[in-house]
Structure 1
């Protein structure tokens, strides 16, 4: 990790700073991906998501700049690592790019942002989040390695 902090997004008067953290597939032990969440991780998953995190996720669809998108992805990954809610595989959300795309997934392992058309098949375990993500009630859906799927509302609370 670089000791330098970088300015990424501005939400209100305070800038959001980050230090990227990488969760490459070979850095996450297999037993971590298989184990059930601890009591702390379950409690952390129920806490509201901060506005800066919600804005970073929204900004993914608002930019065509690949470098900025990579920075957003790293920042989101870091934010989830700091939350200590367990191993997040990624997020699934409605896509705001317009036709032909309706939704997308962001995997924190590998930093993949993939957009889907209505007829596209979404790979597991993200397929279980697709129906929830289509609802305008949810901002996005978190998909964890232990199978938990947590819908996040626009105000940051979870359902």
Structure 2
């Protein structure tokens, strides 16, 4: 007589609760990362990034920390090295300022005058930041992501 490999007569009394489940973070890469970075940005994130001008030319460490926290909240599934390397937007402080940047590697905000030299990586988005359709530009090492007022994202490769 054959013996069953699986005993179907016994009931499993294992209870799964949130405390017993080990949740591990899966790192996004390739197409999954690309798809995530194309998703619409939240209004909270867009508003946080558009407040760069409200602090004037100088910023406190706490203001910068709030902006970095907004980025972390927008991309909780990403690793810090997958965040934008910087953000650039049109500056509304008036003449002589043209654009401002948030450099995530150095955690600093700079306001640049018209024609003033910028770091090369951030300078790629300068012209796009001045376009009236976009609120700000996320600078990645391989692309630019232009974000509109309602959070839509346009991708510029290269």
Could you state the TM-score of these two structures normalised by the residue count of structure 2? 0.70
Q: Which has the higher strand share?
A: 1
2:31 is matched with which residue?
39
1:119-158 alignment runs, 5 A limit: 119-145=115-141, 147-158=142-153
Q: Which moved more, 1:75-84 or 1:108-117?
A: 75-84
1:68: how far off?
4.4
1:81: how far off?
4.2
Q: State whether structure 2 residue 78 is matched by structure 1 residue 84.
A: yes
Q: Distance in 2 between matches of 1:47 and 1:67?
A: 29
SS of 1:138's partner is coil
* Superimposed CA distance per residue, residues 30-60 of structure 1 (whole angstroms, 9 cap, x where no aligned partner): xxxxxxx521110011100000001111112
Report if the CA contact (8 A) 1:139-1:152 is conserved.
yes
Report if the CA contact (8 A) 1:48-1:158 is conserved.
yes
1:115 is matched with which residue?
111
Report if the CA contact (8 A) 2:42-2:74 is conserved.
no
Could you state the TM-score of these two structures normalised by the residue count of structure 1? 0.69
For structure 2, which runs of at least 5 residues remain unmatched after alignment? 1-28
Moved over 6 A (4+): none
1:50 is matched with which residue?
42
Paired residue total: 122
CA 1:130/1:80 → structure 2, altered by over 3 Å: closer, same or farther?
A: same
Q: Which moved more, 1:80-89 or 1:131-140?
A: 80-89
For structure 1, which runs of at least 5 residues remain unmatched after alignment? 1-36
Report if the CA contact (8 A) 1:88-1:144 is conserved.
yes
1:66: how far off?
1.7
Q: Distance in 1 between matches of 2:55 and 2:49?
A: 11
Structure number with greater Rg is: 2
1:23 is matched with which residue?
none
